[in-house]
Structure 1
Amino acid sequence: MPPTVPEVEIFPVLKGKVAIITGAAQGMGKATTEVFLKAGAKVFGDVLFVKADISKSEEVRSLVEKTVAKFGRLDAAINNAALTPDTTPLIDFDEDYWSKLTDINLKGTALCCKWEMQQMIRQGGKGTIVNIASINAFKPQPTMPAYTAAKHALIGLTKHAAMEGGPHNIRVNAIAPGAIYVRVPV
């Protein structure tokens, strides 16, 4: 009989932390929420679900307030919610979809940072924010001009947020994943 190996604690740094994960209903957001919950974090996505349109300031503010009302504070945020990429070349892009995509993928993430950072500062500082960019921020893919522009701008937004958050011990970073495999239940 092979020796039993004790299960290693997953991300012990998350244990007991309060986190907001936008876009937690599917894809990377759902997978991230599952990891946070398994690690012992308190996440609004499963423990407290709040429907919010992140392109609307009042809805983001309310999301942060509801999280703090339930759990008493906010320690971390994963700003993941985004629209899927556009599918036309720049010379034929859909102006309405461009506006909708940038409202969510860029302005929405900025609004999340705004309200999350305000809360973290009110708590005396300290916190972590991770913005989900895309490989498109560095290596554009064909027929995705709005998505590429928004994700590229998100890197600049993250740098700015990190500069403002630093003096308050709020770390702000971005990750830029490439294509991911999402298993769809049959």
Structure 2
Amino acid sequence: MAALLIALAACARRPDDPVLSLLGRTLKRGDRVVLLRSLDPEGTHVGMVVDVAGGKPELRIYEQTGSREYALVRTAQQGDSFRNLSLEDVDGDGKDEIVVTWEGGHLEIVEVISQGADHAYRSIFQNAGRQVEKRYSPAGLIEFWITSRTYDEAPGEPPAYATTIYHFENGKYVETTRK
């Protein structure tokens, strides 16, 4: 029993943990943390999704400064509700990008956020459709299969849908040419 208590104490966060301090500094009354995760193995970048009181959910990316404090470096707010956040190497460069999915009305929204050589975060892909699927190419890279209504149907016919595939090529996502 004593060994278990020692192990639990060793794994517990200390009160001076900079992430706990970040939560206390940034959350306002009524805000709710939906997701909090490290974006790198060192823990110097943190992603937090917050359901903002009286507003829409927001992704906030923080970077640890020299003083161990975290500074806000990017926000993203795409839909009415947050769906998922994953870290994946979308371009095969060995570095993970942030893949975020949201829901807005009847659409699913996907955004890929990358950190550039200047350490600034930027969106490298953003799209929406009735359904967004993340699949993998034979090379192991992520493709997005986005199904949307075409509105090509005649009156009285059921809705028509088409799927567009996007893959990463030459530094950006492009529509895949079907053969």
TM-score normalised to structure 2 length = 0.28
Larger Rg: 2
Which one has more relative contact order, counting CA pairs under 8 Å at least 6 apart? Answer: 1
Structure number with the higher strand fraction is: 2
Structure number with the higher helix fraction is: 1
TM-score normalised to structure 1 length = 0.27
